Amino acid sequence: MARVLLAGFDKDMANELALLFARLGHQIVILPATAAPYELSGSGEVDMIVLEVSIETGLVKSVLAAKAESDQPVPGPPILLCVSRVYRGPRFELDLERRGGRLVYVH
């Protein structure tokens, strides 16, 4: 069972994803828009961060910076998965993957 943090999603999408992950047996935290995901990302409280990056990519930079600075022992910092409904181009995806994140495009 993983602890999954959802950030940047609208309320309906966050609830749908939370139900999906919960059915698979994972614990879900839906982060309010006013909170910063990087505060939780380095604390060991979550195993995976799922960010919605269709409109705003600023959160990704702060989470990646926190991930790079993390001194967590094994299993290490959380997995970062970015979800986008718009094409971000190869540079964004390569930079994200180089720094340990993954990008998924959805309709």
Which residue ranges make up each domain of the chain? 3-105
The predicted structure's pLDDT at residue 39: 59
The predicted structure's pLDDT at residue 6: 92
pLDDT bin (cut points 50, 70, 90) of residue 64 is confident
pLDDT bin (cut points 50, 70, 90) of residue 105 is very high
3-105 in CATH: which number?
3.40.50.280
How many whole angstroms separate alpha carbon 73 and alpha carbon 71? 6
Task: Reply yes or no on whether the pLDDT at 89 is more than 80.
Answer: yes
pTM (predicted TM-score): 0.81
